[in-house]
Amino acid sequence: MLRPICVRQARRIGGIRTYLSTRGFAGSLNLERPSPFPPIEQSLHSAVPEFVSSDWNSPTLANKIAIRDGSTGETRTFSDHHTSMTNVASALHYEYMLKPDDTVALFSPNNIDYLPICLAVGMCGSKVAPINPLSTVDELSKILERSFTKILFAHAKLLPVALEAASKCDGVEHVVVIPDVESDPDIAHGTVNFESLSKFIHSEPLTESVKAVHHHVKDIQNHPWLLPYSSGTTGLPKGVCLSHGNMLSNLLQMDGNELITTSGRFDLETFCSLVQEHKPERAHLVPPIILGLGKHPVVDNYDLSSIKMIISAAAPLGLETETMTKKRLGTNIKQAWGMSELSPLGTLNSDFNARTASVGPLMPSTYGKILDVDTGKSLGPNEPGELLIKGPQVMMGYLNDTEKTEECLSDRGWLRTGDLSYYDEDGYFYITDRIKEMIKVRAFQVAPAELEELILNNEHVQDVAVVQIPDEESGELPRAYVVLKPSADLKEVTEEYLKDWVKERVSPYKRIEGGVVFTDAIPKSASGKILRRVLRDQVKEEFV
């Protein structure tokens, strides 16, 4: 039986985890920083599907557009969402015998049916693993295996990759194809058409989540629903177990309206055209798009005056970019910060008193503290150290990975974020750097360990280390420091050769566009761990 590893239940055999205190999990209680906002309601009695959809069939919302695809023109009303959610849930429950311990993977770009699929899986008490649509066959198959996926939902545009990956995983029993309105409606033999699920009729339809999810309040808090794969603070991607309670907490900390999205590849001119046509007042964007709005000449051809607020997240937003874009568009910009392990938000500026360069104060019912990286001592205002977060949105743990869970999540519920941060006298937090090894490329996470593992498979490579270099457009780019084998032909094994070799095997954002540096040795500690800090210091000197 698959269960997420919860640190409160996990116990290591033979030894006390003394490293928790030495790594600053305890700290000084009097220096914990509380959220300045009123706390959220803690007594949660409904699962996410019921909570989210409670008024979707009401006279106020039923016929109102819930989501619009700017690429295809498709729309869904709230009533459409509710019907699709319950029909798909019934089909999964009755026809495909989906159980509370099963996993469903969702491999799709932005799609107007994405939400009801996720909620339908939640109604069955199962886990849904959303997977980056840029994933390669190898990347997808690894996640399917590690998550023990039983059913794979795949968009028609991604079907060749999905089918090849699924063929490598014995646990995948069905592939459900989400049709593409712009291509041939016929689907591959042996697959299931999503429309047959969305129109499924049963004499006793599943209209609420199974009892395993909400039989007791503790079930809501501890029953896993979302399973995004994240590299967390270090290492290879791990399944982040987020419960119904985690997600409900973050939903109560936020609110939303009609959503306009695009299922096609992002294009700045298309984005500007949609803003001019539909006149949204708020835009949730990542820094590379905000940079384009601040610098690209095409922006002058469109009326973007409807946007009153841009919310930036997923990667740090530079002060210069923020200031430039504000001035050009005449809009306000506020930052937020979070991570998959936080469902995902930890801090957020309010509309009325956002501070430039700050990611804002803590979310409601959330606590934070800053610990000295070397001593683990709690620090006060304006003293930089590692940021730790505690709140109802903190994940349950990593799927089937006790060791990695214990490395970042304490028994008292404190999550080590791996981010260097400080807060000012008013409780506004500022992210200054990352202790963790993650590389952020256009807001996508790239794990150095994953690229290193791949590059080491090249027959000419003896050793490798990957770190980030700064890039104005992408934020950061991966750079590989490579030690070649003595037998390698230097005329054959060039920088371009290795870049192309990696390019064939990874998603576009994981390519080593930061370049390849050939070196005689990789700096390592006495225990053999790569000293990325040494390489990052070299990069800093290079880009001063």
pLDDT given at position 311: 96
pLDDT given at position 11: 28
Contacts of 515 (CB under 8 A, 6+ apart): 469, 479, 480, 495, 499
Contacts of 513 (CB under 8 A, 6+ apart): 471, 474, 477, 478, 499
pLDDT band at 131 (very low <50, low <70, confident <90, very high): very high
Mean pLDDT across 302-315: 95
pLDDT band at 7 (very low <50, low <70, confident <90, very high): very low
Residue 539, phi then psi, degrees to nearest 5 = -65, -40
**pTM score of the predicted model:** 0.86
Q: What digits encode the pLDDT tens for the residues 358-395?
A: 999 999 999 999 999 888 999 999 999 999 999 999 99
Average model confidence (pLDDT) across the chain: 90
Q: What digits encode the pLDDT tens for the residues 31-65?
A: 899 999 999 876 667 899 999 999 999 999 999 99
Cα–chain center distance at 215: 29
For helices 287-295 and 268-278, the axis angle rounded to 10 degrees is 80
Q: What digits encode the pLDDT tens for the residues 486-534?
A: 999 999 999 999 999 999 999 999 999 999 999 999 998 776 778 888 9
Mean pLDDT across 417-427: 95
Burial 205-225 (b: 16+ CB within 10 A, else e): ebeebbeebbeeeebbbbbbb
Compute the distance between CA of residue 382 and CA of residue 427 in angstroms, rounded to an integer: 10
Compute the distance between CA of residue 133 and CA of residue 117 in angstroms, rounded to an integer: 16
Contact 150, 172 (CB under 8 A): yes
Contact 346, 368 (CB under 8 A): yes
Q: What digits encode the pLDDT tens for the residues 183-213?
A: 767 778 899 999 999 999 999 999 999 998 8
Contact 284, 306 (CB under 8 A): no
Mean pLDDT across 250-264: 86
CATH numbers and ranges of domains, the chain: 29-39+256-434 (3.40.50.12780), 48-208 (3.40.50.12780), 439-542 (3.30.300.30)
The residue type at 102 = D
pLDDT at 5 over 50: no
**Sign of torsion over alpha carbons 522, 526, 531, 533:** negative
Strands (E), 7-64: 33-34
Instruction: Name the percent of the chain lying above pLDDT 90.
Output: 76
Q: What digits encode the pLDDT tens for the residues 78-130?
A: 999 999 999 999 999 999 999 999 999 999 999 999 999 999 999 999 999 99
Residue 270, phi then psi, degrees to nearest 5 = -60, -40
Contact 188, 177 (CB under 8 A): yes
Three-class DSSP category at 493? coil
Closest to 241 (Cα-Cα) out of 225, 221, 252, 256: 225
The residue type at 131 = I
